[in-house]
Structure 1
Amino acid sequence: MTTNPDPTPERAVRLQARGLTTGYGGRPIITDLDIPVPDGSFTVIIGPNGCGKSTLLRSLARLIKPAGGAVLLDGADIAHTRAKLLARQIGLLPQTSTAPEGITVIDLVSRGRHPHQSALKRWSEADEKAVQDALALTRLTELTTRVVDELSGGQRQRVWIAMALAQQTPLLLLDEPTTYLDISHQIDVLDLCTSLQRAGRTLVAVLHDLNQAARYATHLIVMQDGRLVARGHPADVVTAELIRQVFGVGVRVIADPETGRPLIVPHAPAPSPAPHARPTPPEGPA
């Protein structure tokens, strides 16, 4: 049963899926899904592999055409919104991205300003500031002249994040933004997401690490088999029973000593039985 354990009233919603049915090659991954994204939230989508997390995110960004239902932005179906106008409202960090051969960091990040350009509006001081701010936030200022393909996987991921930030959209969608990053840079990215959310942006991210999701999300969406299982604040949603039901893993859920948020601790595996000792053969006559 779909639940919403959060007893507080719904916050304003700019972006939502309404009766969404979608998938690939005529095979539905998501069927008749209703998902509101609270405005000003850091919403994190979790669930097992193949449950429809990335499919939902790609649908919210209009990368997948629904077979039924709609994605609404300010009450209007985004299927009918002009591409450049939509790109000024919703930014996307996809799961995998390929940079044009030979492009530098500064040139790729600057492409985030494309939705704001036109034949009558050329590069401006506001564009330059947006790019420089994005580079500073992702700690890439010293790498601006480097070729993107020459960077490490973690550095490349930060370049794509910077490009999405330079787009300066009020809504930002991130599909596994911590991929390729070591733990230090994972924390940097998630702390940055929190800062952006506190500054007024709405973020929606797919994460695999349940403890990171519980620690950073202000709103959690839990999916299984293309359907919504639960949504709400992590403190209200994350329980041992939910994790067992959705992921098939036995856990304890305790309070994180740093944040008070739910902390998921998997049960230790049962110890292996001790090998049977070989019986000592009886001594025979010498």
Structure 2
Amino acid sequence: MFSVEQIKVKLGSAMVLHGIDMVARAGQLTAIVGHNGSGKTTLLRAMTQEVGYDGVVRLDGRDISDMRGWELAARRAVLPQASRIAFPFTVLEIVRLGLMAGRDAAQQDLPSRALARVGLAGFEGRYYQELSGGEQQRAQLARVLCQVWEPVADGQPRWLLLDEPVSSLDIGHQLDVMEIARDYARAGGGVIAVMHDLNLTAMFADHVVLLAGGRRLAAGAPTEVMTDTTLSRAYGCDLRVNTAPEGSATYLLPHSARRAG
């Protein structure tokens, strides 16, 4: 279990997070959603200790501030919104950065397997800077997968922490990436993903945490959180949640949304 308790973050003079509580469980894909500036990325960065915070972040009951860097690296991997590479590394060199010492490092074919998993088989010798934005994003996902390839290790779940993992991708690759994330959770690992696309969230998430103004507005199953009233309140516009006739997955019709007057 990955949990945060009363997390507060102040950046400069602005209070960005106001006492957030959240629980994400292994075996599930937890999506963090909310309007721009609601605090989604800041919450994830607090969970990865990239920003200072008040409160407690726990991984399977342990305060992460008491864990060593190598322990955290062995248990969770982080995909940021964007990664800037200044030097002309090949795709293989980038992906190999995700290999940790020990069991995973011994699997010499792991980077190529990870690249194939994200649809980049044969890209090993390409220079990273020559890739499109979407290809770079998938290469970074392959790097992250290498770090925690097995969803469960030594009886403990491992975690993928993904910040907008589909932001630069076309719809086909968006579905591919979300399926990778869901499969990882189904295999016993945990996934926490900051998401903007509410339809993909409804399709793939097991648990949704909705933020608004740096506070947790709602948390629960997609059908519990993604309601007309709650989403309209969170996003400041009238939204209508619908259900496809042939199934139970919720979806949103863009043409039914309008900005509140």
TM-score (norm 1): 0.82
What per-residue deviation string (whole Å, max 9, x for no partner) do you get for residues 164-197 of structure 1? Answer: 0000161110000012111111111111111111
Aligned partners of 2:32 and 2:211 also within 8 Å? yes
Aligned partner of 2:82 in structure 1 is: 96
Aligned partners of 2:238 and 2:257 also within 8 Å? no
Aligned partner of 1:48 in structure 2 is: 35
Aligned partners of 1:251 and 1:267 also within 8 Å? no
Aligned partners of 2:120 and 2:139 also within 8 Å? yes
* 1:109 pairs with 2:95: yes
State the 1:109 CA deviation. 0.3
User: CA 1:145/1:246 → structure 2, altered by over 3 Å: closer, same or farther?
Assistant: same
What per-residue deviation string (whole Å, max 9, x for no partner) do you get for residues 77-134 of structure 1? Answer: 1112111111111110001101241100111100101xx22xxx698533x2432321
The 3-state SS of whatever aligns with 1:142 is coil
Aligned partner of 1:125 in structure 2 is: 106
Matches of 2:104 and 2:65, distance apart in 1: 29
What per-residue deviation string (whole Å, max 9, x for no partner) do you get for residues 116-170 of structure 1? Answer: 22xxx698533x2432321121122211000000111111010000000000161
Matches of 1:172 and 1:35, distance apart in 2: 16
* 1:242 pairs with 2:235: no
Amino acid across the alignment from 2:95: V
Matches of 2:203 and 2:249, distance apart in 1: 6
Amino acid across the alignment from 1:79: S
User: CA 1:70/1:136 → structure 2, altered by over 3 Å: closer, same or farther?
Assistant: same
The 3-state SS of whatever aligns with 1:59 is helix
Matches of 1:52 and 1:139, distance apart in 2: 31
Aligned partners of 1:215 and 1:259 also within 8 Å? no
Q: 1:24 aligns with which of 11, 28, 39?
A: 11
Give unpaired runs (5+ residues) of structure 2.
Answer: 152-157
Alpha-carbon RMSD across the aligned residues, in angstroms, is 1.9
Matches of 1:163 and 1:206, distance apart in 2: 18
State the 1:259 CA deviation. 4.2
Alignment of 1:132-211 (within 5 A): 132-168=112-148, 170-211=158-199
Matches of 2:110 and 2:71, distance apart in 1: 18
Matches of 1:57 and 1:269, distance apart in 2: 28
Amino acid across the alignment from 2:90: T
Alignment of 1:56-67 (within 5 A): 56-66=43-53
Aligned partners of 1:43 and 1:218 also within 8 Å? yes
Amino acid across the alignment from 2:242: I
Give unpaired runs (5+ residues) of structure 1.
Answer: 1-13, 271-286
Deviates more, 1:70-79 or 1:214-223: 70-79
